[in-house]
Amino acid sequence: MLPRRLSLPVLTLFLLAAPGLSAQATLSSIPVQEFADRRAGLAAEVGDGWILGVGGVTAPQPFIPFHQDPVFRYLTGFTQPEAALLVWAQGGQVREEMLFVQPRDPAAETWDGYRMGPEASRERTGIPGRSIQELPAVLDSLAGAGALPRIHVAASYNPGAAVANDVTQRVQNLMAGHGDVEVRVVTPYVDRMRQVKSEAEIALLRRSIEITSEAHREVARSLRPGMNEFEIQAIIEYTFRRYGAERPAFSSIVGSGPNSTILHYETNDDFMEDGEVLLVDVGAAFGGYAADITRTYPVNGRFSDAQREIYQLVLDAQLAAEGVAGPGVSMGQLSQAATVVLAEGLAELGLIEAPDATFEDEMGRQVPQLRLFYMHGLGHGIGLHVHDPTPPVLEPGVVFTIEPGIYVRENLFTEVIPDTPRNREMMEAIRPAFQRYVNIGVRIEDNYLVTAQGLERLSTAPREVAEVEALMAAGEASPAPRRDEWVERFRGMR
């Protein structure tokens, strides 16, 4: 689906091993050495010069949670606000590093909580720490000494965006007095590293995905006609926290009836009726790593014939993509496999005139009719961001989603399809099917790890029609004892 505005997960820095720089030291259960290796990898790409990394700032309003920027978190593991990183690379090697952080301030900490300060940050991250207040002077002196003909920015820096994010503003402020320093953005190197996950990252993803699968099982056990979407959202987010996830990785999508056809619906406040479907697209963040799983449920526990027909088609498309996925296969090939199934199935259901039939858009261009019902991409990487970078060709260590969908919007004929003679002809042909399936939106989204052997599906929420209906018939939400088991299992992961 299209990237959306997201807040990013936060996790307090947590050291499992004793403080210090032992080989076992970890940040969020990721070894400190792994962060150092990432910076070394970046230095190897840059070659010579200074690299600047910039983290997120505290929200200007009080009580809004801070979530570290994913690029900065990836390079440092540091999760507190207002931080920055300088790395000096020479001959592709890291020669010097500095982590600039908020200084200790007991008065401010009374209100806002513990600040690590330069000393403790060095112990935790292995990077020599300095006060963030010193950064402008350090840049001035580097520039004054002629050491900054250019600066390599490795950050979520995007000056071309309509609204500059906080990291972009910080980089711009820092460079404002240095108009002669060339800014070279090297974030694509970091994105490339982020495409393939390490063992430690995969372990965190397995946890967030397992917790999110459990939240889906709770939905299946709890859903009844007459409930409100917000009750289901509450059950999901309660389950996330109950099992130790820090928060939803993105706004929970809980849409019933007509709302199931809105791709990024997040109002979540309608009552749910007997005979509707409920589309639930949610993901926990654990240790900063996002899951992203969608299931579509019949509100009354049994799919109607029409709902089952759409559901099975979407599932068949997902299975087709799964069937071709593995090392050496491109996302485009997966998409093609799913698209063929969807186009043929929609034609059989009568929602499109033929697998390759087209309609006219408002510019008079021919657009596949398939796009009236399936208008997003097939999947994306997941990681520190719910839409993490994905390589063009899959390889072992890539963790990603496959999420086909079909959405029969009620305003399709009245507001979406331009009123032209050719389109009117099409609407007449597909009207009976449209009326049969209107207000059914189905998406099925799972999370996968590419392995040397092929593909591992990491998400375990029920997916087959019979499995979903069986769990919905099984009844009440989970008993408490299982909570202890889960909490025990995940203790110490962060």
Residues engaged in binding ligand GLY (CB under 6 A): 1, 250, 281, 292, 403, 445
Both tokens assigned to 49: 């010069």
Cβ-based nearer residue to ligand GLY, 308 or 376:
376
Cβ-based nearer residue to Mn ion, 127 or 320:
320
Cβ-based nearer residue to ligand GLY, 257 or 404:
404
Cβ-based nearer residue to Mn ion, 210 or 292:
292
Query: Scanning residues 441 to 480, which ones bind Mn ion (CB under 5 A)?
Result: 445
Both tokens assigned to 203: 């372990």
Contacts with 354 (C-beta within 8 Å, 6 or more apart), sequence order: 347
Taking the mean position of all CA atoms in its chain, how far away is CA 260?
20
In the complex, minimum distance from the CB of residue 245 to ligand GLY, in angstroms, rounded to a whole number:
15
Choose among 178, 176, 239: nearest CA to 480.
Answer: 239
Distance CA 391, CA 408 (A): 31
In the complex, minimum distance from the CB of residue 488 to ligand GLY, in angstroms, rounded to a whole number:
30
Q: CA 459, 464, 470, 475: dihedral to nearest 10 degrees?
A: 40
214 binds, among Mn ion, ligand GLY, none (CB under 5 to 8 A by kind): none
In the complex, minimum distance from the CB of residue 445 to Mn ion, in angstroms, rounded to a whole number:
5
Taking the mean position of all CA atoms in its chain, how far away is CA 320?
23
In the complex, minimum distance from the CB of residue 403 to ligand GLY, in angstroms, rounded to a whole number:
6
In the complex, minimum distance from the CB of residue 457 to ligand GLY, in angstroms, rounded to a whole number:
16
Cβ-based nearer residue to Mn ion, 270 or 445:
445
Is 401 a binder of Mn ion (CB under 5 A)?
yes
- Within a 10 A sphere around the Cβ of 119, how many other Cβ atoms? 12
250 binds, among ligand GLY, Mn ion, none (CB under 5 to 8 A by kind): ligand GLY
In the complex, minimum distance from the CB of residue 407 to ligand GLY, in angstroms, rounded to a whole number:
13
Packed helices 305-324 and 331-349: angle between N→C axes, nearest 10 degrees: 150
Checking 134-138 for CB contacts under 8 A at 24+ apart, the result is: 134/100, 135/84, 135/86, 135/100, 135/174, 136/174, 136/177, 138/86, 138/98, 138/100
Residue that has been written with the tokens 């292995």 in this structure: 126
Query: Scanning residues 261 to 300, which ones bind Mn ion (CB under 5 A)?
Result: 281, 292
Helices and strands in the chain, H and E counts: 14, 21
In the complex, minimum distance from the CB of residue 208 to ligand GLY, in angstroms, rounded to a whole number:
13
Bridge partners (DSSP) listed for residue 153: 52, 185
Q: Which segment (103-111, 302-310, 400-408, 446-454) binds Mn ion by CB under 5 A?
A: 400-408
Q: Which segment (7-15, 29-37, 257-265, 439-447) binds Mn ion by CB under 5 A?
A: 439-447
Contact residues for Mn ion, defined by CB under 5 A: 281, 292, 401, 445
